[in-house]
Structures are given as structure tokens and as C-alpha cells.
Structure 1
């Protein structure tokens, strides 16, 4: 458990909040104690998601259904408020560790433990399905371990979130590596989907490995749909039964009743069902709950959230706000300073930070002190900008750097700032060796609080190890592969696979008459794009035809003629701008004049220039905004023009936003001092509306959450910004 953040409520309903159990793109999970002394886990949904009326309706329905689930191994919903500004539900708290944490700490479970785990989870899922629910997110993180058996959690919310939020796994609810093929393909799901996920969980518990591997989300989803599971050295009846659970055909999987019958004899060992190291881990967690503080009389607000008015409530010795409301923590001097800084952030200004140890807020105005003495010298925060400033990515990196410079200049010009901001640019040339040397130097520099990375894929991989060891945040708006995810890496842009979300929506909208041809140019990037598109289109829509366009002129010309011969309704090219420019010319030469699509690797002026008239009409999606055309970037564009004397280039708005995101992150710490290691954690909990897009992240892996993908159309040798949707007349 971690301490509450200043923005967290002190009370939710009749529950006093004690700490944080976790957080993610949808909201926060809090540990709380009821007025009767019982501990509960409260899932608090972010208000912006609750603004969707359809979400409210589903949430009401699913909470009502979840309350009907009665099973010892399914953690029950004990309270909820579906009408609150931030809806919430409370479940019984289980102090034991989650299965994924347990396997990471103690290794794979022995087969008798796996059999008991399977029996109890099958019983829990049977109760969930009987209540008319499909869990949709059976994963190790949703399985808690207790001395008498496991507990399944989160069955009261997964379905309500479906169709409300598109997560980093594309238009699916669940966790990559534990999804069923029908979930991965975006098709309707039923109880067999939960059985498949249960098979993945049990295979993980027995082997310590995910049966469909790791890596980029799109690759995991593709393997889930098309590849056989890797069950390693599992043998005998356990392997046979898990193989049936993991059948691609949902009708071939066993039911929860069949699983219960297969493992009926495992229940006899449930009292001592776990090995010693796991039992010890559970005991440590349970003992930790004994040190939680009791509920004490305090100042509790009555009225709207954030009100300054407070009253002392000690009737019966147990204060709590009226049912259905919740209030913020006690308002002290630190909160006053935090509100002042938040006001600066509302204007796109303000940043605080730390070096290797602790940087203290000085809490004073730049205009002087109360007694007229000279103000103390401002503390300085350094953000390093490690980039390929002299190699192939120089133009992209330079655009980001110049945008970041505008953010720094605006911050340091504010008279009420509590610190100065320093931006340190370091060129690694896109070289892996040089990137590693630069990273070692910056990782050990106590003045550097975070790093913005704008370099080559090879250099990005090389720089991760030093920053990971130093526990220093690395943020990127350049790398979209998702292959470098770890504990310190945060992607301030959608991963490459999520570029396909608006394209898939367009291709399945009924606007395309004819098959869709997916063209792979042989590059790794193109392979990921075309496989992700094929997975996204599996759920229905037009016929999908995969094609390859690689080799010399003769091979490419033959491929273009073959593709045109399919009479496609649309062609999606998966490669970069150079191969796309050649392909566009050959496709036009072959007589095809229909819809052509590409992704961010084609969003380069050189594509339109090289392809000439052949590129006209192509639609390209990109995670980079056009600061001159996007309404949200108007103020930034004016500031950039004033600072640099010219319009902002591509990536400038994103470079500006990265600084503002880090600012909001540090502000969220809301404490008198900040340790740079906290930035890693809080950055992933930060939500910020920037000039280019809204930024939010998955806490567990640092992936970008939300939209952030824009359409462009090529016309007269240039890219025309269309925004987040394609106009009807295109």
C-alpha cells in the first residue's frame, strides 16, 4: 500500500480512505476502513469516464448483477454509488498478494497448488456466469491469494467499461496475454472467453511464463489469435486440460462445471494449498494490516468536493461525511501552495523537480519576502533532452527540442515561479554505443530529474538500462514500438498498433466497397502494422487480402498489378515513406485510383514530394498534430512564433507538451519536498490536456491511454490536417 495523494479523497461514502492500492487509466483503487472497522478496497472511477451516459447505465446494471454473485472465492461487492460524480464500488479487502506478484517473488507454483487454484477459480467463475456476468479480465493481477484459497476480484466492472474506453490493447477490454482470441479480435464474448483466460492464468502459475509470450501488444494479440500456446514442460492431465481451455474454437473449451469435476479432488488440500514461501508472503501482508491507524476524529468537509468550509464531526467518535459524498484531505499550508501552483499549471506554466536526492520548495514569490529582504535564490530543475540531433532523426528531434525550449522560456518568465527550469540537450547521434555512454552520464547526474528521449530505436534500447538502474524517468513522443517498456519508461504517444484504431473504424464503417488489401514492404514496422490491421479486422467487415511489395522494380511492379487486380475497396500500405512513394507511383500506373491509407512512418514531407501526383488523395494517420491547424494548439503556435520567429514544425507541440506533462506530474506530488524516484510513479498517474492532445498513461506499463491519432490527406504535394475524424466528403 502507498500513501494517499493530495488529490485523493479522505472519505468515500462511509469509508475512511487509508492509502492507495493501485491506479490506472480508469481510476484509482483505495484501501479504506468502514465505520464498523471492516477494511474494503474501493475502485474510484475517474469523473471524465463517468460523463458518458452509456457508461452510467452499464455501471448500474453490472454493479446490481455483481451484488448477486455469492461465492466464497469471488470477492463480493459490499457497497457502491453509481450516481456519484466519480462512481465507485467497494469490495471486501483481501490482504494477500496477487498471483503475478507472487510468481515474480517466489517462482511458479507446484502442480497441486495449480490444481486447487483452478478448482476455486472455476467455482468463482461459475458463480459470476450464473449471475449473468462475463468477467472479461481474468488475469494474475485479479487473483489474490489467501491461506484458505484464492479470491477472484474485479468482476463487477469489466463489462461496464466495454465500449466506453479504448485501452492500449485497441478496442478490447482486458489484458494482453490473458485475453481470449475473440476478445483480441474484438468479437462478442461469453463464458468460454473467461475459460480461455483462466487457462492462461493457470499456465502462467504453473510455468512462470505467459503462454503467448510478451513484447509489443499487437504481437501478443496476433499470437493469441493465430499461434498455439507455449506450455513449456507441463505434462500429463494438467497439460491436456489447459490445452483444451486454450482452444481457439470457443465451443471446444470445457465449461466451468467440467473444470470443477476434473479438479474435484484438489479441494481436500485447500487448507495447506500453497508452498511455504508463498504462505510466508501472505503472512507478512496480513501482519502489515495490523499497523493501520484507527479512524480518528478530524475535520471533515460537508458540501461540494474541494470546499474550503470544514466542520469537526465527532459524534459517536466516528466522523464521516453524508452518504454518497467524499471530501479531500485536510487543507493545510501545503495544500494552499499546491493550489497556487495548480493555477499556474492551468496556463501551461509551472514545474518543480528534484536532483538525485531532494529538492525543496522555497514557497515564496519572486517579488521578494514579507520583510522586504532579497528573496532566496531559486532552485533549478534540469530536464535532459537526449536526442539524435545530428543523424537521420535530426529534424524530428530538433522540432521537439524547439517546442520544449518554448515551454522552458514561458516557465522561467513567470514572476511567481518557485524554481527555475533548465533544459539540457545532448546529442547521441542515434548511435547505440553513444546513447549508452550519454545515459550513464545523465543517470548519475543528481541535477537531472527526468529525460526526454528523441533518438533512434537502437539508441533508445541502449539508453534504458542506465536510467532503469538510477530509477530516472524516460519519456518519449518518438518511439511507438512499445518494445522498450519497463518500470521507468513512459510513452507520451499512442503505440504504433493504436494508429490502426481509426483506420479499422473507417474500414468497417460500411464506407468501403470491396476487399481491403494489406501491403507489407518487408520491414519490421510494416509487419507489425499489417498484422495489427489484420487482427483488428477479424471481427467483421470487408474481406482482407494480405500482399507483399518488396524486391526490385520488376517485383514491385508485379505486386502493384496484382493488388489492382483484386479491385480493392481500400489499400493499406504498412511501410515507410520511401517505399510508399515508389509503391504509390506503381499502384497509380497499374490503374488503381481508390482509397489508399498509410501510417505515421509515411507522415513525412518527402513522401508527398517524391510520389508527386501519385500521392494525391492518400489518407495518412499520425500521432503528430499540426500545430498550425489544430485549434487546441493555437496558443502554443503563437508562443512559438514569438519565441523563434517562425511557425512551429512537426513535433514542436509534442515537445512542448512533454515539459508540461512533467510539470503536472511533479505538481501532483503535492509535498514540501520531492524525491526524483517518485516522478516515475506519479508520471503514470498524471492526466494533462496539452496543446497536441490529452495525455494519460497505464500505470503498470507506461503506455499512452486515449486517442491522440490524427488524419491527414495528401493534396498538391503537402499534408492537409483533417483532425481526429475523416470528413464525410472524403
Structure 2
């Protein structure tokens, strides 16, 4: 990292700028840190290029598409502002060196390292191609090295941000020596072009030389088109795969999936030589030692004098952060919740198949109540109501409905509310259809969506285009960021912070970190792994697919006397691991993450789940250590729905109250989605489950919002909100 120039900005969006990572003809790459502490590589485009309307169109399109790329080995776009005077985007920061620096320092890599490198980069390119993108600039400088594998950067953005343009008309984009013959000739560029470039990168990694030499650009282009690649020194075991990549005819090259399979092999030990691993560790430690930035807590705008607030959100839980005392919340709380719920229940006509509830009938002209009609605000609820995640979707629907009923029955509220629901079945296609419906309905001012990661991915772009605010209560994917998206929980990476504290303070043995090979598994375990390495804690990592046999892994944990096993993955994989560890005789601590907080884990694991500890962002409203307001909510939920409040019902209830709070605090007789969008992220709110506060720039949750559970007697037992509550 290099010092900032006097002309570099101190802040971009929600990121404090710390230094320069690089620069090119079209912009500069800066190191930024959010108020939540996350590091990002922020790419700032020069304003003169942003004035080109064609550039803006490409930039918007490619940022939207790039957000759909999900691969452990591709660095995701986490934030962007395509409309700023100087557009910018932020990607997750990887502290390791680029492949070009590693080869310059250590020379060619061992054959096993190159094989591992090629298989992971082929997998990353497969994800890029599946998203409808062509990278166009696969080169050593765009491959970063981390302790667990390589990372491909700049996917999907190369056309808009490339700083090595070989013609004035942008017909040829790429880096000489690593581009394909069709790129060199200005021809059609598709996925096979990226495979050719990857072949060049692998030859370079194996030998330390460019396969088409160096020198003047024209000479390198000529050799790329007409000469055979120089593969002398490439190990025999790698030569067939690399030679196939370097075929002059695009149709003769393997696909990304075929190349990945050809290079796949087990990697039981470190994938890089010790000297390079030490370099990565040193750079990671430097980043972790950067000075902290004091967070700024945004508060809601002041509300005009009016009726006292009757929202239960103003009754702070005893063990949650202090309630908001900003000018935006000056009204005293009053214990009217049960009265209001009873009034709401008395006026409702409910049906099991109803898809919209219109409240506030007594306030209409001709109704039973006095006074003029209050405006009605529609809130969309998009959830998996009939698919594999229907338990979460229905819980959120019922919690949101309870909030809508309560708010609409409260005569002190300036609005009545309507809940419109859409069943997306947890799949991308139905989710996109639901998003189109809500986006086209001008009465819908915000959406609570969605309950499956694939569904969230599919709807961010249409909601962004419509300027429709989106809140999510259970999705924490680190790549889900847009100007309309607000996450109501800590993301997948930062839920592991208390685990690091626990392992550092309470455990002295080695830790085995296991992920299931999914984006979720990588996001949850990567932060933990890097933090433990920086703290020089004994640790090993393993990747095992959820449906694979976990027996070998369990026996290895016992053989190496791993004191702690941490699983980053879903409930079915966790159940398999629990059974395998129990059968192998493992007696150490086992920890799990958010996704395991699911009844399926208890059913599938049975007795082998006993004693597991897990971190979750959802509160059990009926549990003894739960906040008092959560238990009061559970009582009201039982009265309305005839049973205990399931997980995520309280969070959806909070989401509706948060939206109502924002609408009320605006102090306007009419509120639209455009009014809520800038207000939502600047509002702090005390809900029944947790306190809510957000980064203004990207909607990231900045509160505590974590709960710790232990599996005991076949159920999840809530321990509390601090890792100190975990058993010794």
C-alpha cells in the first residue's frame, strides 16, 4: 500500500480511504474501510471518463451482472455507486500479493501449486461465464494469492475499467502476452478467450516466463496470433491441459468446467511454498494492525410534535444496546401493546389463502371510526412460502402480519398499512417475477425480501432500478449490496467475530475449520481463519461438500486431537459431521454458524448434536434469556397465530415497525418509496429482538445482533448475547 496523493478523496461512499493500492489510465484503486471495519478495494473512475454516456451504460450493466457471480475463488463486488460524478465500485479486499509479484519474488511455482491454482481459477471463470460475462483480462496481476487459494479480481468490470487498452476505439482490451488471438485481431471475444488467457497465466506461473515472450506490443501480438507458445519448462503433468488452453482456434479449447476437472486433485497440505505463505501472513497482519476508525452512529431526523408513540419498539430489552434517544424518538413509551392487538384482532377478517391485508377500515369515510381516512402504505413481503425454506418464509409472513395489524389499529399512527405477499419458492425465477410485480406497483413503498440467497440475488437489480427499498431479515451474503438493500443482521463474515474472541480467551488447543465448499461456507470461515492465523493460533482448514462422507475428516480430528471443530455450512452437512464426530469418539468442542440454526439439523443429527454451540442472528422469543420485549412479542404472537413465535418472526415484525418509524418521522401526509430510501439507513431503531443501525452507504448492519445457543436435550437453548455466556 502506498500513501494517498493530495488529490485523493478522504472518503468514498461509506468508506474511509486509507491508502493507494494501484492506479491506471482510467482510475485509481484505493484501500478503504467501512465504519463496520471491513476492508475493501475501492476503484474510483476518473470523472472525464464518467462523462461518456456510453461508459455509464456499460458500467451500470456490468456492475449489475457482476453481482451475480458467486465463486469462492472470485473476489465479489460488495458496493458501488454508478451514478456518482466519479463512479466507483468496491470489492472485497484480499491482503495477499498478486501472482505477478509472487513469481517475480520466488520464480516459477511447484507443479502441485500450479495445478491447484489452475483448478480454482477455472472454477472462478466458470462462475463468471455462467453469469453472462467474459473477463477479458485474465493476467497474473489480476490473480491474488491467499492462504487457502487464489482469487480472481476484476471479473465483469474489465470492459469498463480496463487500463491497458490497445486501440483507441476499445475494440481490443487486455494485456499483451496474456490475451487471446481473437483479442489481438479485434475479433469476437467469448469464454474461450478467457481460457486461452488462463493457459498463458498457468504457463507463466510454472516457468516464470510469458509464453509469447516480451518486447514491443506489436511483436507480442504477432506471436500470439501466429507462433506456438513457448512451454519449455512446463512440468509434464501439466503440459496437456495448458497446451489445450493455448489452442489457436477457440472451439478447440476446453471449457472452464473441463479444465477444472482436468486439473483437480487433492491438496492435503499448504498449496504454496512456505516463503510465499509467510509473505501472505505478513501482509494480512499489516492490514489487521491498521488503526481503527471510530464509528459514527446515524440517527433519524427529528419528528414534529404529535401523538405519543405506541410502538413496542420503544421498550428496550434489558440485555440489548441502549434504546435510541435521538430527537427522532422523543415520545414516551406506553404499555398499550396487548390492547392494540386485541383491537386489531377484533376488526380483522382473516383468511388462510389471503394475499393482502388492508387495515384501517374504521378510519375511512363512512366507516365506524371518526375522522378522515389515513393514507395506506403497502409493504411487500417476498418469501419462500411453499419451497424448501417455507418455515422461515412463513415465520416472517406471520411476524410481519402481526406488526401490520398492530400499527394499523393504533389511532396514533399517521398511516394504515397493507401487507402484500408473494411466494418466490426460494428460487430465482419466481423471485424475479415477484420483484417485477412489486416494482410496477406504485403503492408498494418497501419490500421485506427474501428468505433464500438465490432469491435475493435475483431481485436486487430490478428493485434497484425501481428505487424500491429492500430489507432482509435472514440473508447475510456479503455480496448482496446495492443502494436499495438494507440488511437487518450481521453479514456472514462478521458473525464470526465473537467466535474469535471465544477461541482466543477460552480454548488453548488447535482448531479445525471446516466449510462446505459453498459461498456461504467460505464467507463464514474465511474471516475466522485469517484472524486465527494473524494471532498465530494453531489451526487447520478443510473443505468437505455437505453430501460427502465426513468420516475421514472426523477421524483426522480425533487423531490430531483438535480441541475445537468449527463448521461453516448448512444443516445437512452439519448433521453428517455431527454423526461422524460422534462415531469417531471426538470429545472436543464443536461450533457452528448461522445456517445450522435450523430445525432440520436437530432432526437429522439426533443425539449426536448434543453440546454443539452456534452463533445466530435470530432470537428465540420464548427463551428465558431473550429480551423482555421479545417475550412479550411471543405472547402476542401466540394469541394471534395460536402457537409460539418461530425463528425470524420477531425480526420480520421489527422490519415492519422500522419502516413505520421511518414513515412517521418524515412528518409528511404522503410517503413514497423515494422518501423512505434515503431515510431508512439513517434511522436507528430499538426492536423487540435487537437494536438496528446501518451504514448509510451500503446498508450494512452495524449493531451487535448476535445470539449464542447450545444444543441441549434436542433443542436450541439460548445462552445469551455475549460469548462470555458460552460454557467453559
Taking structure 2 as the reference length, the TM-score comes to: 0.55
> Residues 135-184 of structure 1, C-alpha deviation per residue, up to 9 Å, x if partnerless?
999986999999xxxxxxxxxxxxxxxxxxxxxx9xxxxx97586849xx
SS of equivalent residue, structure 1 residue 568: coil
| Equivalent position SS for 1:674 | coil
Given that residues 508 and 541 in structure 1 are in contact (C-alpha distance below 8 angstroms), is that contact kept between their aligned partners in structure 2? no
Preserved contact between residue 451 and residue 472 of structure 1 (Cα < 8 Å): yes
Equivalent residue, structure 2, for 1:589: 583
The corresponding residue for 2:432 is 436
CA distance 1:100–1:367, change in 2 (3 Å):
closer
Q: Give the conservation status (yes or no) of the 8 Å contact 1:494–1:705.
A: yes
- CA distance in structure 1 between the aligned counterparts of 2:692 and 2:608, rounded to whole angstroms: 36
Task: Find the partner of 1:393 among 389, 393, 400.
Answer: 389
Unaligned runs of 5+ in 1: 1-70, 76-95, 102-108, 122-134, 147-168, 170-174, 183-208, 240-245, 254-327, 351-363
User: Which residue is 1:421 aligned to?
Assistant: 417
Q: Does 1:383 align with 2:379?
A: yes
CA distance in 1, matches of 2:477, 2:583: 33
CA distance in 1, matches of 2:144, 2:701: 17
Aligned partner (choices 466, 480, 487) of residue 476 of structure 2: 480
Q: What SS does the corresponding residue of 1:496 show, helix, strand or coil?
A: coil
Alpha carbons 1:180, 1:224 under 8 Å: kept: no
Shift of the alpha carbon at 1:533? Answer: 1.9
1:515 aligns with 2:484: no
Partner of 2:697: 700
1:494 corresponds to 2:490: yes
The 5 Å alignment of 1:149-548 reads 181=95, 233=163, 249=282, 335-337=304-306, 342=329, 346=333, 374-509=370-505, 511-548=506-543
Secondary structure of the residue that 2:709 maps to in structure 1?
A: strand
| Aligned counterparts of 2:164 and 2:151: Cα–Cα separation in 1 | 18
The yes-or-no answer on 1:616 pairing with 2:610 is yes
- Distance (whole Å) between structure 1 residues aligned to residue 45 and residue 460 of structure 2: 31
Quote the offset at 1:344 in angstroms.
Answer: 6.9
Whether the 8 Å CA contact 1:407–1:660 is kept in 2: the answer is yes
Which residue of structure 2 aligns with residue 189 of structure 1?
A: none
Structure 1 residue 663, shift from structure 2 partner: 1.5
Q: 1:141 to 1:97 in 2, by over 3 A?
A: farther
Distance, in Å, in 1 between the alignment partners of 2:423 and 2:38 is 46
Query: Could you tell me the TM-score, scaled by structure 1's length?
Result: 0.54
* Bigger shift: residues 706-715 or 637-646: 637-646
Contact kept, 8 Å, 1:688 with 1:696, in 2: the verdict is yes
2:716 match: secondary structure? strand
1:713–1:721 Cα contact (<8 Å) kept:
yes
CA separation in 1, counterparts of 2:606 and 2:556? 22
> How many residue pairs are counted as aligned between the two chains?
461
Task: Give the Cα separation in 1 of the matches to 2:647 and 2:627.
Answer: 15
- Does residue 712 (structure 1) correspond to residue 709 (structure 2)? The answer is yes
Q: Is the 8 A contact 2:546 2:573 kept in 1?
A: no
| Residue 536 (structure 1) shift | 2.5
- Report the alpha carbon displacement of residue 644 of structure 1 after superposing the two structures with TM: 2.0
CA distance in 2, matches of 1:389, 1:559: 36
Q: CA deviation at 1:368?
A: 11
Q: How far has the Cα of 1:428 moved from its partner?
A: 2.0
Shift of 1:729: 4.0
Q: Distance in 2 between matches of 1:505 and 1:729?
A: 14
Q: Is 1:575 paired with 2:569?
A: yes
Could you tell me which residue of structure 2 aligns to residue 562 of structure 1?
A: 556
Give the match for residue 186 of structure 2: none
Which whole-Å CA distance do the structure 2 matches of 1:368 and 1:251 have between them?
A: 62
1:482 Cα deviation (Å)? 2.7
Match for residue 124 of structure 2?
none
Distance 1:224 1:412, change over 3 A: same
**Alpha-carbon distance between aligned partners in 1 of 2:140 and 2:377, rounded to the nearest angstrom:** 43
Mapped to 1, the partners of 2:513 and 2:421 lie a distance apart of 40
Structure 2 residue aligned with 1:660, among 649, 657, 661? 657
The structure 1 residue matched to 2:720, chosen from 696, 718, 723, is 723
From the superposition, tell whether residues 515 and 455 of structure 1 become closer, same or farther in structure 2 (CA, over 3 Å). Answer: same
1:639 equivalent to 2:641? Answer: no
User: Take 1:499 and 1:251, find their aligned partners in 2: how far apart are those partners?
Assistant: 20
Contact 2:24 2:163 in 1 (8 A): no
User: 1:50-90, CA deviations, whole angstroms, 9 ceiling, x for partnerless residues?
Assistant: xxxxxxxxxxxxxxxxxxxxx99499xxxxxxxxxxxxxxx
Q: CA RMSD in A?
A: 4.9
Partner SS for 1:538: helix
Cα shift readout 1:619-646 (whole Å, capped 9, x = no counterpart) = 0111111101202412212221222232
